[in-house]
Every structure is written in C-alpha cells, then in structure tokens.
C-alpha cells in the first residue's frame, strides 16, 4: 500500500456482488491505472443499504464519501468528476455515516459491518474486536453466563428464549464433552442478517462462539450454514483459518490455556434443518427429522452431549455484551425485549436493507421512515413479519411497537426481525396457499398434522378459491389449522397456520368470504 | 452406455476415505462427491454404506431427504430461481414462467440439449433486491426478463 494511495471501498457482500461489485472494483482499478492514479481498493462488507449497492466509498479528510448504485460503466465518468477527491456526481450520496438511514440506527451488533474488511483481523482488532473475549478470559465461566443472563439477551432466531438460561443449563451439565452449535440455517425469506455477519464481519461470530464455549465448558463448535450461501461459507472458512493461525482458536487461546475449535458444516437445502433438533440430526449425518423434547438439547444435544444451540445473531451479540457490560446492552429496548435487533426490510420496499434498532419502534417507522414505502409506489397492503411461518399483518397493525410481547398479543411474531412487504397487487389467498404448499414440501414428515395437514390445507384452499361450498371449506380450514397448531411436533407444522389464518382473517375478500373472525 | 456409470470411482473412494473419520461424516462426504461428480451416483451408495457401516437404505434415505443432493447428472449449467415470498413480492413468479419458456424445461428438469437444469430455490438471502437467481455459483439480483435472457445467452455462447 502506497502512502499517497487513496482508499476506495467496494463491498464484497454477496448482494453487492450479485449487482456487479466485482466488475466495478475491476473497472476502478483499470481506470486508476490508465490515469496513473494510486488507489488502494478495500473490499469491505455492505452497509446494508441495498438499494445503493454497489456502494463505492472513498476515504477523504472529511470522512467516507459514498457513490451508488455504481455500474462498471459509470466508472470513467466518476473519475472525471473527481471520485478520488469526493467530487460531485449524480451518484454521489454524501458522507455515508451521515446518511439518515444509517445515522438513525443503533448499530451494536452491526457496528463494524460495512466499515471494515471482513477478513482483516487487524481491522477487527482496531474496531473493538476481541475486546469481549479478552474480558471473558479474565472472568470465571459462571460470571460470563451471568453477564449474558443480566443483559436480557433473548434468542434472535425467533423463539426469543433467554440465552443466558440456555447457557446456564449447559454450564451446569456434567459431561466429558460439550458443544456449541451456531444455527446459521437462515432459510426464512426476508432474512439476511446472518448472511451479512458471516460475509461482512465473521470474526464477531467466531468471537461470540468462543466466549460461549469458555462460558459453558465446550471445546468444539459447529456453524451449520445453508448450502444456498456459498459466499458465506467461503468467508467463514477463511476467517476461521486466520483466527486459528493467530491463536484466537485452538488449544491455547491467547495463552489462556483455554481450548476451542470451530468448523463449518454445510446444510443441503432442507428448510426444516433450521429447527434445532432437526439441525442436530443433520449434523450427525442423518435425515433432518425433528426430535421430540425432552430431553432438552442443552442436556442431550449433539451426539448426545450437552449442547448450546444459538441463532447466529444471538452469538454475534455476545462480544459487545462482554466488552461493554450487561447494563450497556440492557439499556436499549423496552420491557422484556432488551437490546437491539437487526431488522431486515425486504420484498417490495423502496429502501430495502438492514436496520439495527433498539426494540420499541413501530413497524410503520421501519416501513416508512427507513423503507420509504413500497418500491412499486403502490400502497403497502400486507407485511409478513418473521419468515414463512409469520403472520401477514394488515395496515391497521402497522403501529404495533416492535416488542416480543406486543407482537405475541396480536398473534404475530417478530421472529428474527425479517419483514417482507407486499403492495396492493398481492393475492392473499394465493399467499395462504403458498404457506401450506411450502410446509408440504419442507415438512420432515415425522408428525401427521404437519405432513398430512399441509397437503390437505392446499386442497382445501384450492376448493375455497374455486368457490366449492365456501362456508364449509372455511370451517374445515380453521379446524385443520387448529389441529396443526396443537398437534404438531415443532414450529413448522405448528406455525404454518399463522400466515394462513392471518390472511383469511385480515383479507377475507381475497378468499371470497365475508369477514368473520370467529377463529 | 448409461450416464450413471461414468464417474471417477477412485476419486469418490478417496473422498469417502478422507472424510469418514469426521464426526457426522455423511453430509461432508455427500457434498464432496457432488462437488466432484456433479451428483451422487447410485453406485456410490453401497460404497458410502460400507465405509460408514450403515445400510444402503439409510444412505439413500439421507440423499433423497435433502433437496440439494442430486441423483442424476444435471445439465451443463444449473439455473436456480428464487420462488420465496420476498422475491414473489418483487415479481419472481413471472420470472419463473419466463425461465421455463427460455430454457425449454420445467422446474426440476433439464433442457433437451443438456445445457440447463432449472431448479426452484427458497431464498438466496438477497431479499431486498429480488427477483434473484443463481446460475452455477454466480448470484444475480434484480433479474427481469431482459437480464435473464442476457445471462442465459452468455452461458449458451460460452459453450
């Protein structure tokens, strides 16, 4: 790197790549070469403002100036406009940190994402990386568990179970071998925060898992990543190799005598493997069929050993909790929803992307203030929150504060914070049918309500749409949903009725039925 | 000759030997074989079963459970179109129809010329910029009919 070289940032996040970031980086290098200008191109992560990707940033004395969305063909004109000095151009967005979309967030877990080079350990260390592990290594394991408990952190994968209680159970179990498993099977449509951490700040996850291992006495960890994420897998593998080389993983972590090993395991396109017990079966080399609980995985988990299974964002939240303390984290949020959640704005939305905020803002604020309304410009009609098993919410519910309990009270769920926006062209009967169809395709088949119920659900909705004895079909559908909710072994069958019934209750006109909320 | 028979048996044996000592070795072995061969040949099943001390039925059960594993060789290029909700909200159902017309095959099928296999995928994690597709290991976001045609044409010409 030359002294007078100007730093230009071009993201390596897969959304940026899917929009041509590699071509843009190559074009910048070529154009600078032609003009005899020295540039140092850093492949940073994405800031999560996906409508601006590829977002090129230039380091200037007044901060990082952004340009986007940049096409490779724009590069000569950008250089003509004085790109390297932060010059004016129609694509110029101004100082990136000052953009309202970023400035109005509370980025704790995503503090480094988009800023650093994901595979530079120096960059990581320079931005508070491994401060949490350093603190943890100086603490007794019980104190680490207590800190996570005191932070109020709840599982970010959807079920919102207190993370510290899980850890405490595993810490208290006696066994020769324990494991930490990171659930990175981010199969829900509308979610990409796990993917961003893996691609854009992988050391944070490695650090969080290492802390978890030390806290509960586990010496081996697995990250179960879906096969649909090849970029994330490649980045994680590289980051793990770097961490091992530098003594942040292995038999003697930073000279502490503590041991922790980590490996990535690739899933194989089965949605159900996001369910924790199905994931364990898959890791053991079997079909991803759910297990009945008890026994709890905390006591009899992977290979029958006590296992901490956490969602990726839960584990990624741990380093900052250790670095800054439980109180710091807990002071964000409302009620029993402590801390922040990386919300993911997806679907038909103008400014889709990642928004990390403390709990308590409303859905409408996310959709309008951050998202800028629908991309099509048509009215937003429905929002599916929390993945394919989450309820469809109508306009009337958009003022609900994002708080686990407030959402539960209206039969919806925050889940992992992913939201998919639909405009008024959506056919809600078709979305309800899709929910049942998805369950039929992805059911592991172990329990009857899920396996058979979903297939019958598709048939009933087809008859409903075709107006065959409609009142009877509505009655049947509700009864079927009741059986699935109460009789399924896991959330797959147990929650598929949520999108179905919410569509039927809030958008009855799409089913050709009068509004009757007698569920 | 049956296409099923043509694969590097020694390489498959090597993959199994190298990975069978891993805890929960089945998926890593299957991934290794599919990366190498392009699918899991039927003849690999008894080889895996023998080395992992499992029945053939158990191995077959795992292969057929997971959508990612193929039991037949795919076309030269694999085109995956995301059909999950976030992409649906951005027009992926229309794109799915266009892809079928353009490639001349339905989902889960291979075009007659053996060039393309079309598969549905349920989320590529690019949900703010759909509709999304993956061709081989390359992701493409904001794919409309024109872009799809360009991408497919480029693959055809590269052949």
Contact A420 B89 (CB under 8 A): yes
CA-based nearest residue in chain B for residue A437: B84
The answer to whether residue A293 scores a pLDDT higher than 60 is yes
Q: Band of the pLDDT at A518, cuts 50, 70, 90?
A: very low
Mean of pLDDT values over A438-455: 97
Question: What does the pLDDT look like over A152-199, one tens digit per residue?
Answer: 999 998 889 999 999 999 999 999 999 999 999 999 999 999 999 999
- Phi and psi torsions of A420, nearest 5°: -115, 125
Among chain B residues, CA nearest to A345: B128
- Across the interface, do B66 and A270 touch by the CB < 8 Å criterion? yes
Residue A119, pLDDT score: 98
Q: What are A67's strand-pairing partners?
A: A56, A92
How many angstroms separate the CA of residue A186 from the nearest CA in chain B? 8
Cis status, amide bond into A391, omega within 30 of 0: no
- Check B141 against A15: CB less than 8 A apart: yes
Asked whether B102 and B113 are in contact (CB, 8 A), the reply is no
Q: Which residues of A touch B137 (CB under 8 A)?
A: 230
Per-residue pLDDT reduced to its tens digit, B121-139: 999 999 999 999 999 989 9
Percent of chain A with pLDDT over 90: 97
Say how far apart CA A275 and CA A490 lie, in whole Å: 8
- Measured between beta carbons, the chain B residues lying within 8 angstroms of A267 are 27, 66, 68
Instruction: Return mean pLDDT, chain A.
Output: 96
List the one residue out of A192, A187, A149 whose CA is nearest residue A168. Answer: A149
* Whether B89 and A426 lie within 8 Å, measured CB to CB: yes
pLDDT bucket at A516, cuts 50 / 70 / 90:
low
Q: What is the pLDDT of residues A13-30, one digit of tens each?
A: 999 999 999 999 999 999
Which pLDDT belongs to residue A1?
47
Residues of A in contact with B89 (CB under 8 A): 346-348, 420-423, 426
pLDDT of residue A244: 98
Interface test with B, best of A55, A189, A284, A380 (most B CBs within 10 A): A189
Answer yes or no: is pLDDT of A144 > 90.
Answer: yes
Q: How far is A208 from chain B (nearest CA, A)?
A: 22
Q: Per residue in A395-422, pLDDT tens?
A: 999 999 999 999 999 999 999 999 999 9
- Average pLDDT score over residue span A453-479: 97
A462 within 8 A of A434, measured Cβ to Cβ: no
* Predicted confidence (pLDDT) per residue in A63-107, tens digit: 999 999 999 999 999 999 999 999 999 999 999 999 999 999 999
Among A17, A227, A375, whose Cβ lies nearest the Cβ of B139?
A17
Instruction: For chain B, 159 residues long, give each residue's pLDDT as a single digit of tens.
Output: 344 458 899 999 999 999 999 999 999 999 999 999 999 999 999 999 999 999 999 999 999 999 999 999 999 999 999 999 999 999 999 999 999 999 999 999 999 999 999 999 999 999 999 999 999 989 999 999 999 999 999 999 987
Percentages helix, strand, coil for chain B (3-state, rounded to 5) are 45, 15, 40
Chain A positions in Cβ-Cβ contact with residue B68 (cut-off 8 Å): 227, 267-270
Whether residues B24 and A375 touch (CB distance < 8 A) is answered with no
Tokens standing for residue A188: 């829900």
Chain A residues near residue B107 by CB distance under 8 angstroms: none
pLDDT digits (tens, 9 = 90+) for A307-362: 999 999 999 999 999 999 999 999 999 999 999 999 999 999 999 999 999 999 99
Closest to B86 (Cβ–Cβ): which among A14, A285, A346?
A346
> Are the C-beta atoms of residues A287 and B62 closer than 8 Å to each other?
yes
Give how far Cα A259 sits from Cα of A130, A216, A251, A319, B125, Å: 16, 12, 4, 18, 33
Size of interface A-B (CB pairs under 8 A): 144
**DSSP string for A303-349:** GGS-EEEEEHHHHHHHHHHHHH-HHHHHTSEETTEESEEEEEEEES-
In chain A, whose CA is at the least distance from the CA of B64? A287
Question: Tens of pLDDT along A353-397?
Answer: 999 999 999 999 999 999 999 999 999 999 999 999 999 999 999
């Amino acid at each position: 790197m030359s002294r007078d070289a100007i730093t230009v940032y071009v993201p390596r996040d897969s959304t940026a790549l899917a929009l041509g970031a590699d071509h843009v980086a190559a074009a910048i290098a070529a154009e600078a070469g032609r003009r005899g200008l020295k540039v140092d191109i850093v492949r940073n992560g994405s800031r999560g403002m996906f409508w601006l990707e590829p977002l090129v940033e230039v380091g200037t004395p007044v901060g990082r100036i952004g340009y986007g969305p940049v096409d490779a063909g724009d590069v000569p004109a950008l250089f003509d406009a004085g790109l390297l000095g932060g010059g004016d151009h129609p694509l110029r967005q101004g100082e990136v940190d000052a953009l309202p979309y970023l400035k109005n967030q509370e980025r704790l877990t995503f503090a480094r994402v988009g800023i650093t080079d994901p595979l530079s350990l120096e960059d990581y260390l320079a931005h508070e990386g491994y401060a949490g592990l350093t603190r943890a290594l100086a603490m007794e394991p019980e104190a680490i568990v207590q800190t996570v408990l005191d932070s109020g952190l709840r599982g970010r994968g959807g079920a919102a179970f207190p993370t510290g209680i899980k850890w405490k159970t595993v810490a208290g179990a006696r066994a020769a071998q324990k494991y930490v498993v990171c659930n990175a099977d981010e199969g829900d449509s509308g979610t990409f925060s796990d993917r961003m951490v893996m691609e854009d700040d992988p050391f944070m996850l490695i650090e969080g898992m290492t802390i978890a291992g030390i806290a509960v006495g586990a010496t081996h960890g697995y990250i179960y990543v879906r096969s649909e994420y090849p970029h994330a897998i490649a980045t994680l593998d590289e980051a793990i190799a770097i961490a091992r080389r530098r003594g942040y993983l292995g038999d003697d972590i930073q000279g502490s005598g503590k041991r922790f090993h980590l490996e990535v395991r690739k899933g194989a396109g089965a949605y159900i493997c996001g369910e924790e017990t199905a994931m364990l079966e898959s890791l053991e080399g079997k079909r991803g069929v759910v297990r009945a609980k008890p026994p709890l995985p905390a006591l009899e988990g992977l290979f029958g050993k006590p296992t901490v299974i956490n969602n990726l964002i839960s584990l990624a939240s741990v380093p900052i909790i250790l670095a800054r303390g439980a109180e710091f984290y807990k002071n964000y949020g409302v009620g029993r929803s402590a801390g922040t959640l990386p919300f993911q704005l997806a679907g038909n939305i103008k400014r889709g992307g990642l928004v990390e905020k403390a709990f308590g803002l409303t859905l409408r604020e996310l959709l309008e203030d951050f998202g800028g309304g629908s991309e099509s410009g048509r009215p937003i009609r429905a929002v599916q929150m929390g993945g394919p098993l989450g309820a469809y919410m109508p306009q009337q519910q958009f003022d609900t504060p994002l708080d686990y309990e407030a959402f539960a009270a209206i039969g919806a769920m925050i889940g992992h914070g992913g939201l998919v926006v639909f405009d008024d062209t959506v056919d809600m009967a078709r979305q309800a049918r899709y929910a049942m169809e998805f369950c039929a395709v992805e059911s592991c088949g172990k329990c009857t309500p899920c396996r058979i119920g979903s297939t019958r659900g598709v048939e009933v909705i087809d008859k409903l749409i075709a107006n065959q004895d409609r009142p009877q079909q509505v009655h049947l559908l509700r009864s079927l949903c009741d059986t699935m909710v109460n009789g399924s072994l896991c959330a797959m069958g147990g929650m598929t009725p949520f999108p179905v019934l919410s569509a039927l209750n809030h958008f009855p006109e799409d089913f050709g039925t009068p509004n009757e909320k007698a569920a | 000759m049956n296409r099923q028979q043509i694969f590097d048996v020694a390489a498959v044996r090597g993959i199994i030997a190298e990975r069978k000592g891993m805890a929960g070795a089945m998926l890593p072995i299957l991934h290794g074989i599919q990366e190498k061969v392009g699918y899991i040949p039927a003849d690999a099943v008894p080889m895996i079963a023998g080395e992992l001390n499992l029945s053939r039925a158990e191995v077959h059960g795992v292969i057929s459970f997971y959508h990612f594993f193929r039991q037949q060789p795919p076309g030269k290029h694999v085109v995956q179109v995301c059909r999950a909700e976030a992409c649906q909200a951005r027009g992926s159902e229309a794109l799915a129809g266009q892809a079928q017309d353009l490639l001349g095959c339905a989902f889960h099928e291979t075009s007659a010329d053996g060039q393309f296999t079309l598969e549905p995928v349920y989320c590529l994690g690019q949900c703010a910029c759909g509709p999304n597709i993956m061709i081989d290991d390359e992701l493409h976001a904001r794919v409309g009919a024109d872009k799809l045609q360009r991408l497919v044409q480029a693959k055809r010409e590269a052949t």
